Amino acid sequence: MPHVFTDRQWSAAFGEFRQSGLTMAEFCRSRHISFPKFRYRFYSPRYRNASTVGSPPGIAGVPATALVDRVAHGFVPVHVRPVPVASVDLDRPEPAAPLELVMADQRLVRVPVGFDAATLDRLLDLLEHRS
């Protein structure tokens, strides 16, 4: 097909596309037609009536007629789902904050709740070089 199509040639190409069973990209590739130009013309109001006859495969498996209908209205449906929120158990107390020791040399040691005192004593011996 020539690079500059007449209205009649565009309408014929749309008819061939509808009958082909190919996706728009496959059809354009097989006919050496610019995909962006074809898609633009296919969905333009000027050719809308000619392109909505039949129900060919459209883009990504959505029928072309459904896409044209969506474009005609100017809106595409959007489904918003709420983000799940973690439940808060108000009966359960918050965990206690860890104990923080600031050493003479400004080292900070955080000791969690339920620590092992013997292990902490050995750690402090190491840090303070106690014997």
Q: Render each residue's pLDDT in the chain as its tens digit; 131 residues.
A: 446 788 888 888 888 888 888 899 999 999 989 999 999 888 887 766 544 444 444 454 555 555 555 555 566 677 788 877 777 677 777 777 788 888 877 888 888 888 888 888 888 888 777 54
pTM score, whole prediction: 0.37
In a domain, 88, yes or no: no
Residues 65 and 115 in one domain: no
Question: Which residues does 44 contact at the CB level (< 8 Å), separation at least 6?
Answer: none
pLDDT of residue 27: 92
Residues 63 and 23 in one domain: yes
Q: How many domains would you assign to the chain?
A: 2
Domain range enclosing 124 = 99-128
Residues 122 and 65 in one domain: no
pLDDT of residue 52: 45
Residues 52 and 105 in one domain: no
